[in-house]
Structure 1
């Protein structure tokens, strides 16, 4: 929950980095309002744009209209074993919405640990890492076999997160390796009373199985086969709004490693994260980064709510501008794939020809450390219009800004001295050039190719 406060400090640093282009940034949130028609999609970071802004995490509440965001790829049962898997992942800045071809996307640093047969989420100095499923789950069970990172100020997270900021969390504080925090949010509403701790053995040294079993009427958090917590929907009724403050909209599965103890974080965020992060710790010396390990993810989809309108079976989409609960979602056969990073939900095929001619490939090489401290080398490849902007170096951001954040309302801005109450969401990650600059670069490349 403290990542809400941390984000505001981090966003101010990002603003100073990209000040030269700040005049071009259009924000979307409860204060600024919705995006304009020429930049129609409100990204999970609360910034207006097109292309990748219209895909995973596109917030329909503050986009120009409901058709600006692309439909959300429907849930399918899956099992992912992350042994030698990094080359199969696509950069979020080159992903165009094809969930059949790309099960997982990333921003930051993902490496293969061949000794542990796992994927490493790595966090070099002043950076962060995020990975997301490309398909959405609308009720179901998801399990992850993983090891958290460790040390003060280092936060590992495993969550479900929807485009309207419903959220179900596991969070791991690196200074407290025998407790796991569970939490939930409804449409990003700030509530300090939802978090509970689950006791377990050392989360850095030992693999554990973490599950979320999400039903229409309850959610269970399950650790190593034992139910640790159950939340019932009927206990979440909000008499003021008349809603149940219960996560209920299609959500992506996300994993993150981020520096809650960064020097940009607020005092209380640092306290929650276990203190200031040590960028000179032994992990930073060798292998060169903090890290978490992920061996596998299993997803089992449940049936949608009774009475859901089904006009297809390819994707979910929001259909009611005044209702972003489960009753405002329906099935569609509309495409989830854009032609290029210049496109939007208005006309997703507009840039298809320029996309094929503008595609590029960039390769990145890093080093990882196995459990027996042997070093293994791996190369991850990102392909697409924005690949040149998504190399590992570009993700070594100012104070590594990845954290799971919800709707940044009221107290978040006040406590960090921010005068803007940004509505942002998801597991946000900003690079040196910022997501905005990366996206602008991709659009320019695509348009230039189309002109030629």
Structure 2
């Protein structure tokens, strides 16, 4: 029975994953799955929320409008304001962080965990910054191949980041990108004390004219917009569009990643390391995040409205609209052009095809845009090969997925080989309780359509 169920689940996942079209600037999403997710695949529901790229979607309005910036300090003493991406529908008033993976509260910190057979954990802010200041106090993970990241990432893939390779605990790597265009001369390192054993406060001060990276209040690097002009394309190659704050722990040393990424990460992940043996997973420890919005009186950088949208596929700061469009979907079959699809009171436009994916998944690649050393690798080139197959019901919490047949984004509390070891740290877990039965029902329901 167990093997039959497993085979059915894997088969259904394969069918659904294969049905998700890829998207790019030259290959936009089709109308029935109009939203291009952060990972380059088309779908509906959560595909249309945070990370949805309007330039690669069916239309600029396919993506759900992004909640505007909110100045706030986030302390991690409970899971109350952290919501799984299988449940979040865009209401930032009820959720501060959207989670892909498994987070654990421990001693008034949140641990981003990465157990064997998973690709780690990603927390993304529910609101967007359009310039401003953000500080995060945390300890990184450790061990070769294991990467901790604190980044700003916009839907059009502008990025400002800190990355930490577990094999080098005395270096903070900084980088930036304009619309995800790779340039491997942009990186600069900042030296500091042991990042695993010591808390440090990492800061990004971002204005329309300058980015400053600071560690513990000390300036480590400065980038001026005036130094980013590209005379060939006649544009500023400078991060300039509303971005989510992302905190992540991910396996740069995953065997299915490109060799350049593996080498950059210090080699393959050792899944028999002391942290795995003692706790059941690798972990990065985040204490707090503080966001201060730019608060200018006129664009760019305002947050006077409800949401950010784009009025042109150029995806530059002069195409951003700070307006009053709603940000909340009625269900996971909704899109930016049909926010009420699936609403209990009645039907609206035609539902998407039975194989439409509703929640994008990761398959081991960098949650940002940098694939390192110019390689794409098998994982990056098919970023959503393991995207989650979920029920279109808004209250479904079961998620299935695979990462090139080896690693899945899953819940360490689900009873599989990824069982959490949080109790060994004395923590009280409050992570997404995925139900195998719900998963079976969801898959059978989808296959029956």
Give your verdict on TM over 0.5. yes
Please say which of residues 258-267 and 230-239 is displaced more in the overlay: 258-267
User: Which structure's residues are more often strand, by fraction?
Assistant: 1
Q: Partner residue of 2:306?
A: 314
Q: Are the counterparts in 2 of residues 155 and 257 from structure 1 also a CA contact under 8 Å?
A: yes
Deviation at 1:22, TM superposition (A): 4.5
Deviation at 1:38, TM superposition (A): 1.1
Unaligned ranges ≥5, structure 2: 1-9, 347-357, 397-440
Q: Are the counterparts in 1 of residues 70 and 292 from structure 2 also a CA contact under 8 Å?
A: yes
1:2-41 alignment runs, 5 A limit = 18-31=13-26, 33-41=27-35
Q: Distance in 1 between matches of 2:286 and 2:302?
A: 35
Return closer, same or farther for 1:140/1:185 CA change in 2, 3 Å cut-off: same
Q: For 1:353, what is the secondary structure of its paired residue?
A: coil
Q: Deviations over 1:60-116 (max 9, x none)?
A: 011111111111100011011112x224311012100000100111011100112xx
Q: Partner residue of 2:88?
A: 95
Return closer, same or farther for 1:49/1:343 CA change in 2, 3 Å cut-off: same
Q: Are the counterparts in 1 of residues 103 and 112 from structure 2 also a CA contact under 8 Å?
A: yes
Is the counterpart of residue 269 in structure 1 residue 266 in structure 2? Answer: no
Q: Are the counterparts in 2 of residues 222 and 228 from structure 1 also a CA contact under 8 Å?
A: yes
Q: Distance in 2 between matches of 1:34 and 1:410?
A: 27
TM-score, normalising length from structure 2? 0.78
Please say which of residues 287-296 and 309-318 is displaced more in the overlay: 309-318
Deviation at 1:421, TM superposition (A): 6.1
1:9-408 alignment runs, 5 A limit = 18-31=13-26, 33-83=27-77, 85-114=78-107, 117-127=108-118, 128-304=120-296, 306-307=298-299, 313-321=305-313, 323-353=314-344, 401=364, 403-406=366-369
Q: Are the counterparts in 1 of residues 130 and 302 from structure 2 also a CA contact under 8 Å?
A: no
Return closer, same or farther for 1:17/1:231 CA change in 2, 3 Å cut-off: farther
Q: Distance in 1 between matches of 2:252 and 2:192?
A: 22
Q: Distance in 2 between matches of 1:409 and 1:124?
A: 23
Q: For 2:138, what is the secondary structure of its paired residue?
A: strand
Q: For 1:125, what is the secondary structure of its paired residue?
A: coil
TM-score, normalising length from structure 1? 0.77
Q: Are the counterparts in 2 of residues 310 and 332 from structure 1 also a CA contact under 8 Å?
A: no
Q: For 1:59, what is the secondary structure of its paired residue?
A: coil
Please say which of residues 73-82 and 309-318 is displaced more in the overlay: 309-318
Q: Distance in 1 between matches of 2:258 and 2:300?
A: 42
Q: Deviations over 1:41-76 (max 9, x none)?
A: 111111111110110000001111111111110001
Q: For 1:144, what is the secondary structure of its paired residue?
A: strand
Q: Are the counterparts in 1 of residues 175 and 188 from structure 2 also a CA contact under 8 Å?
A: yes
Q: Distance in 2 between matches of 1:17 and 1:305?
A: 51
Count of residue pairs brought into register by the alignment = 379
Q: Deviations over 1:232-279 (max 9, x none)?
A: 000000001111000000000001101111111222212110111100
Q: For 1:438, what is the secondary structure of its paired residue?
A: coil
Return closer, same or farther for 1:283/1:53 CA change in 2, 3 Å cut-off: same
